[in-house]
Structure 1
């Protein structure tokens, strides 16, 4: 098993940096509002659309930030390398927002980052101190340790579709969207040609994200896997669980389906590959 998730009981509250990643895709202001009302004491807030995406780009609905933007985020959050402090990222529980933030930390080379299994309410109920308002943060200066091998862009995905690179594309959306039967978000229905499907919602159990044997039936550990979804957000739980389960060759297509269809046609039905 991997070392991706951490339970509240295993967190040393005297040696932790908290990141609050709560968000609501239907109400973009809700997470920031909840943070202002109350958050784990000392936590910094990372907004899905203001910090973990570059919404000025035309590369899907939650485009990949530039490295300079992420470096600024890491530095103003007071992060540093080679420390024994755990970076503990939480959201409302069984959601894709802490995993998105954690993936950005992996991309930035922070090996001490963990996803808190339980959501905010459970952390508070465990007796960990909370407070309201903004935090006075100490900034740092970093030389980033980028892990570019975790990220795939549209060009890299096209090479897979064209058979130039042997990797498995894994679609994290609901089966009906994958099949092209419905499409509530994007202008055209279907999936990236050749992709397999595993709905990330199947990872939810009792308010936490957990492994699922069905996932192991869809992709094998010796395969090289590229996960994607609609906009790169709900693919991150799949990435995290695969890494937790010991899959070593996993990448994330941040632009995902919403980026793919800006240039290329989708496929409908069950892929023959």
Structure 2
């Protein structure tokens, strides 16, 4: 049901200063720009007006997700199609990759999770994204980027890769482990539901808004602070941990926060958009898991 994330010698995130040093080194990482906004339009024009030097734009809605449908609003992309996108972006199996977005971190985490799930062992997220980069005086450019073709070949579910849950796995984990709901509290409770068929949460899931994993500066909280937060939610012990959100995007950000805290977690990629589309699946409302 759950696959523990790969253990890497490198942390899952890096700072602006760390990225600056790596870009000046002898083995600079491949840079992916995954700026995105819920509901579109895509942010390619923003990328073209200014991006980190050498970064390649990747469109979340069309390249990091399959067509919306019964599997949710952002189902997993076809692995071969995803591999082709990554190779065109210059991603190779043995080359480090750094992903960033505008600053929220959700889209970058989605790309991070997909690369981990498909077997890439050296991918990190720029903490704070483009906002942190420019705030620190980092250079941006409008120059077009034409990377050399990479050689990355996806191996979904590779041993040691990121963990994946389906709907039945998420339901089972809510009973036998810890299932965290990364959406805003009002959507978890069912007070409002602006997007999906019905509000509420998977019975047994614990409310854990991913927005609470970062500070006012948009950077992840310190690992020990995150560990304390997740411990208070029941995660971090021997029980397996899973995460879901609305459509598998902000949930990836929570999986990333858990990894920063040293806690392995699986992602229910279909998330609430898949779960709630089936009227036979149970729905809980209110502030408590049940």
* Same structural fold, with TM-score higher than 0.5 when normalized by the shorter chain: yes
CA RMSD of aligned residues (A): 2.2
> Where does residue 164 of structure 2 map in the other structure?
151
> Where does residue 5 of structure 2 map in the other structure?
none
Instruction: State how far apart, in whole Å, the 2-side matches of 1:202 and 1:125 are.
Output: 22
Q: Is 2:23 aligned against 1:23?
A: no
Look up the SS of the partner of 2:72 in the other structure.
coil
- Structure 1 stretch 52-61 or stretch 4-13: which is displaced more? 52-61
Deviation at 1:37, TM superposition (A): 1.0
Change (3 A) 1:126 1:82: same
Task: Note the 1:191-230 alignment, pairs <5 A.
Answer: 191-205=201-215, 206-211=217-222, 212=226, 213-222=228-237, 223-230=239-246
> Where does residue 259 of structure 2 map in the other structure?
243
> Where does residue 267 of structure 1 map in the other structure?
284
Change (3 A) 1:127 1:271: closer
> Where does residue 253 of structure 1 map in the other structure?
268
| Equivalent residues of 2:13, 2:127 under 8 A apart | yes
Instruction: State how far apart, in whole Å, the 1-side matches of 2:84 and 2:283 are.
Output: 36
1:55 pairs with 58, 67, 73, which one? 67
Change (3 A) 1:82 1:262: same
| Equivalent residues of 1:94, 1:204 under 8 A apart | no
Instruction: State how far apart, in whole Å, the 2-side matches of 1:122 and 1:266 are.
Output: 39
Instruction: State how far apart, in whole Å, the 2-side matches of 1:226 and 1:121 are.
Output: 29
Look up the SS of the partner of 2:204 in the other structure.
coil
* TM-score normalised per structure 1: 0.89
| Equivalent residues of 2:197, 2:277 under 8 A apart | no
| Equivalent residues of 1:170, 1:226 under 8 A apart | yes
| Equivalent residues of 2:68, 2:74 under 8 A apart | no
> Where does residue 80 of structure 2 map in the other structure?
68
Gaps of 5+ in 2: 1-8
> Where does residue 87 of structure 1 map in the other structure?
97
- Structure 1 stretch 39-48 or stretch 138-147: which is displaced more? 138-147
Q: Deviations over 1:3-58 (max 9, x none)?
A: 111011112114121110111114322x2111111111111111110111112443
Instruction: State how far apart, in whole Å, the 1-side matches of 2:277 and 2:39 are.
Output: 23
Instruction: State how far apart, in whole Å, the 2-side matches of 1:94 and 1:56 are.
Output: 23
Q: Deviations over 1:234-258 (max 9, x none)?
A: 111110010111113x100111011
2:16 pairs with 5, 8, 19, which one? 8
Q: Deviations over 1:92-126 (max 9, x none)?
A: 11331111111111112222111111321432454
Instruction: State how far apart, in whole Å, the 2-side matches of 1:122 and 1:226 are.
Output: 29
Look up the SS of the partner of 1:110 in the other structure.
coil
Deviation at 1:142, TM superposition (A): 3.5
Q: Deviations over 1:112-160 (max 9, x none)?
A: 1111113214324545443225321211334434335611122322444
Instruction: State how far apart, in whole Å, the 2-side matches of 1:102 and 1:54 are.
Output: 17
Gaps of 5+ in 1: none
Instruction: State how far apart, in whole Å, the 1-side matches of 2:200 and 2:83 are.
Output: 35
